[in-house]
């Protein structure tokens, strides 16, 4: 087992495209770190650079104390699982799982023990005698994961290994991977574009955008204290509501709504005339008492809205309401043109989502009053999107 150190990594492809633009990351020994971000942000490229499948343009890759920057993949003692994997078609599952170990002349008993253990954990026990052609896509993917797991290298690199599985199997495989990691303790770098997967699997999650790291933190902290508006909007489902608010007499104006600021928030806003305001869907409630600050210092803010859309999800309901303020959306450079077109079509209109309990069901088109705790308001710089309060909890006091 080993740590992985990336320092000053840049990757410029032969066509001149800079996929990784100067990146430092320290991955602890035994850590499970997840790389997450929108399509094209450079997750797979970074993984392939760690694996040695691509060469860095600048910077160094260390595995443990060893500088592996110029070493081939086979010299790095890593095992990889990719979204597109290839099994040996003429071998059955048992042989596919054992192949790598046999090639390394691992003793027969050790092979039997490891293959049996992994096959059991991944639910492949019944399928050991089948060839890949006789397996479903999901079963094949599990064999590919198992094949990497039996190796017990110093680092696992996984690129969207669960993407071919159906939703239910994905959840159970996710739990299985977490359990295997707890047991084996092998340093793991895991790529996904699914933020729920990232949040449930990672000791830490590294959020990337356009070849750069936006924030690396434990999942809870990423959710509570996003470093910027992009991370705020990317982590959490439904996504945080983000819109441009005007600063007026020490408070915020968001369309017709007045959002009062706490003293601490006021100090952070300073002389700005605009900020990006963020509110999480789960921070709204239908009763003021449900959003009172824990320490009782702030009173709930009342927001009269019209429920344009109501989605009943059983245990909760999502209501979508229009807000007469410009929508804020940070995304990859490549996707921005499309967003700008949407903005042009509807220049000053955002749609906010509130996630509410179902003690009282809201009807489509109904006017309701929502409440939120002012200390839960997130504030970001309107220019560069960076958070004005890395610690929103402070704002309450």
Range 250-309, binding Mg ion (CB under 5 A): none
- Of Mg ion, ligand ATP, none, which one sits near residue 278, judging by CB under 5 to 8 A according to partner kind? none
**Angle (CA) 180 183 185, round 5°:** 95
Peptide bond preceding 294 in cis form (omega within 30 of 0): no
Binding-site partner at residue 192 among Mg ion, ligand ATP, none, CB < 5 to 8 Å by type: none
Instruction: Tell me which of ligand ATP, Mg ion, none is bound by residue 40, counting a contact when its beta carbon lies within the kind-specific cut-off of 5 to 8 angstroms.
Output: ligand ATP
Closest contact distance (angstroms) between CB of 19 and ligand ATP is 4
What's the closest the beta carbon of residue 85 comes to Mg ion, in angstroms? 14
164 near Mg ion (CB under 5 A): no
Residues 35 to 54: which contact Mg ion by CB under 5 A?
A: 44
Minimum Å gap between C-beta 61 and Mg ion is 18
Q: Which does 161 bind (CB under 5 to 8 A by kind): Mg ion, ligand ATP, none?
A: none
> Please, what is the Cα angle at 10 between 7 and 16, to 5 degrees?
175
- Interacting residues toward ligand ATP by CB under 6 A: 13, 15, 17, 19, 37, 39-45, 193
Q: Which does 392 bind (CB under 5 to 8 A by kind): ligand ATP, Mg ion, none?
A: none
Under rule CB under 5 A, residue 192 binds Mg ion: no
Give the burial class of 364: count Cβ atoms within 10 A of its Cβ; 0-12 exposed, 13-18 middle, 19 or more buried: exposed
What 8-state DSSP symbol labels residue 387?
B
Those residues whose C-beta lies under 8 Å from the C-beta of residue 216, and which sit 6 or more positions away, are 25, 33, 204, 205, 206, 207
Shortest CB 161 distance to ligand ATP, Å: 13
Query: Does residue 350 bind Mg ion (CB under 5 A)?
Result: no
Write down the least CB distance from residue 329 to ligand ATP, Å. Answer: 18
Residues 368 and 321: their CA atoms lie apart, in Å, by: 10
Structure tokens at 290: 């449900």
Query: Three-class SS of residue 127?
Result: helix
The distance of closest approach from Cβ of residue 34 to Mg ion in the complex, given in angstroms and rounded to an integer, is 13
19 binds, among ligand ATP, Mg ion, none (CB under 5 to 8 A by kind): ligand ATP
Task: Tell me which residues touch Mg ion (CB under 5 A).
Answer: 44
């Amino acid at each position: 087992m080993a740590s992985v150190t990336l320092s000053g990594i840049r990757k410029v492809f032969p066509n001149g495209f800079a996929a990784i633009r100067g990146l430092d990351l320290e991955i602890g020994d035994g850590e499970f770190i997840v790389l997450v971000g929108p399509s094209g942000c450079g997750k797979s490229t970074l993984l392939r650079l760690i694996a040695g499948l691509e060469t860095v343009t600048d910077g160094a890759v260390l595995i443990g104390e060893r500088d592996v920057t110029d070493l081939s993949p086979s010299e790095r003692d890593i095992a990889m699982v990719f979204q597109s994997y290839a099994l040996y078609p003429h071998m059955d599952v048992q042989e596919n799982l054992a192949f790598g170990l046999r090639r390394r002349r691992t003793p027969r008993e050790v092979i039997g023990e490891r293959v049996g253990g992994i096959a059991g954990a991944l639910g492949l026990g019944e399928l050991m005698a089948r060839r890949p052609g006789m397996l479903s896509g999901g079963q094949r993917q599990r064999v590919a994961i198992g094949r990497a797991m039996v190796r017990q290298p110093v680092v696992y690199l996984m690129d969207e290994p669960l993407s071919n599985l159906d939703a239910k199997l994905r959840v159970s495989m996710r739990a299985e991977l977490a359990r295997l990691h707890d047991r084996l303790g092998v340093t793991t770098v895991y790529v996904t574009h699914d933020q729920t997967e990232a949040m449930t699997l990672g000791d830490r999650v590294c959020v990337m955008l356009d070849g750069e790291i936006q924030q690396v933190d434990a999942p809870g902290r990423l959710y509570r204290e996003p470093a910027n508006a992009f991370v705020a909007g990317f982590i959490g489902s439904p996504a945080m509501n983000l819109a441009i608010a005007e600063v007026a007499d020490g408070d915020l104006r968001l369309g017709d709504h007045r959002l009062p600021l706490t003293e601490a928030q006021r100090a952070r806003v300073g002389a700005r005339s605009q900020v990006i305001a963020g509110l999480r869907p789960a921070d709204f409630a239908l009763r003021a008492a449900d959003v009172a600050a824990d320490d009782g210092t702030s009173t709930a803010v009342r927001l009269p809205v019209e429920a344009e859309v109501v989605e009943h999800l059983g245990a909760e309901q999502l209501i979508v309401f229009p807000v007469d303020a410009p929508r804020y959306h940070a995304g990859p450079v490549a996707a921005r043109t499309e967003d700008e077109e949407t903005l042009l079509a509807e220049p000053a209109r955002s749609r906010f989502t509130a996630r509410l309990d179902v003690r009282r069901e809201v009807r489509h088109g109904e006017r309701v009053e929502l409440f939120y705790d002012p200390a839960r308001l997130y504030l970001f710089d309107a220019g560069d999107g960076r958070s004005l309060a890395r610690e929103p909890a402070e704002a309450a006091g």
